[in-house]
């Protein structure tokens, strides 16, 4: 497998992560599909990729644990000969007004979204092959400032800061580092807890008058992971023009 580009997709077992894994596989990459707790969902993605003629493996672990992520990179390197693309879609979203927000929830969300991004980025910076691409995930809410999103948006603001700094630290490696910032996207993470009226209102906001799909976001990732070599140290907003 050493002659083929390969990708490690964190959070690759569902939602946007699955769409990204399948899209990169369609581009000819071998893909390591990461899962946190549900191996069967990751295995489903692997099976779908293989049935479409691609090559994939499932790798598990907590994105915020260095030993787990080191092992995930080990597994991808053993299977594919190296890692060329690292996409970190793993994250959690907990909502509530600042005045009432649970600090335990804040800590839990920041552990996954901030520490998890940092741990994965650290492994990627050490181990990605020259000529590769690192893609982190932010959110358009960092600009839209929806009420009840303060804790989540704060965690993603940290992701953007890490992304822009790491892009400059990778000088000399021909490695791009960018973040994708989706707008409202029809995933279980986004739709959970929202009634139809709220969903309809959000879908009407972009000029394109619909929610994004996981596949829409995967296209942006595929661009950054493949032909978009002159885009570096940027946050790419994929939101249909909502912001």
Q: Which residues are catalytic?
A: 152
For residue 237, the cross-strand partners are 181
Q: Which of 77, 24, 19 is nearest to 224 (CA)?
A: 24
Distance CA 45, CA 98 (A): 37
For residue 27, give both structure tokens: 């581009």
For residue 103, give both structure tokens: 């600090």
For residue 21, give both structure tokens: 């894994």
- Which residue's entry shows tokens 């929806």? 146
Q: What is the DSSP string of 82-100?
A: S--EEEE---------GGG
φ, ψ at 86 (rounded to 5°): -125, 120
DSSP-assigned letter for residue 56: E
Neighbours of 200 (CB within 10 A): 11
- Which residue's entry shows tokens 């661009």? 223
φ, ψ at 33 (rounded to 5°): -95, 110
Task: Please tell me whether residue 192 adopts helix, strand or coil conformation.
Answer: coil
Cβ-in-10-Å burial (0-12, 13-18, 19+) of 79 comes to middle
């Amino acid at each position: 497998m050493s002659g083929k580009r390969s990708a490690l997709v964190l959070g690759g077992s569902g939602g946007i992560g699955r769409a990204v894994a399948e899209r990169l596989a369609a581009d000819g990459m071998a893909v390591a599909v990461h899962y946190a707790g549900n191996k069967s969902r990751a295995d489903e993605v692997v099976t779908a990729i293989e049935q479409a003629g691609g090559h994939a493996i499932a790798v598990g672990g907590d994105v915020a644990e260095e030993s787990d992520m080191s092992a995930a990179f080990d597994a991808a390197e053993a299977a594919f000969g190296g890692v060329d693309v690292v996409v970190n879609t793993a994250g959690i979203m907990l909502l509530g007004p600042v005045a009432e927000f649970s600090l335990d929830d804040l800590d839990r969300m920041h552990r996954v979204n901030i520490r998890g991004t940092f741990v994965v980025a650290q492994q990627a910076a050490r181990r990605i092959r020259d000529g590769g691409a690192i893609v982190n995930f932010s959110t358009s809410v960092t600009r839209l400032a929806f009420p009840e999103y303060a804790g989540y948006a704060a965690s993603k603001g940290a992701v953007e800061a890490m992304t822009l700094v790491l892009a400059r630290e990778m000088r000399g490696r021909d490695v791009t580092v960018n973040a994708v910032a989706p707008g409202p996207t029809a995933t279980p993470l986004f739709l959970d807890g929202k009634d139809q009226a709220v969903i309809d209102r959000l879908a009407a906001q972009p000029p394109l008058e619909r929610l994004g799909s996981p596949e829409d976001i995967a296209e942006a990732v595929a661009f950054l992971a493949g032909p978009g070599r002159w885009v570096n140290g940027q946050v790419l907003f994929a939101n249909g023009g909502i912001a």
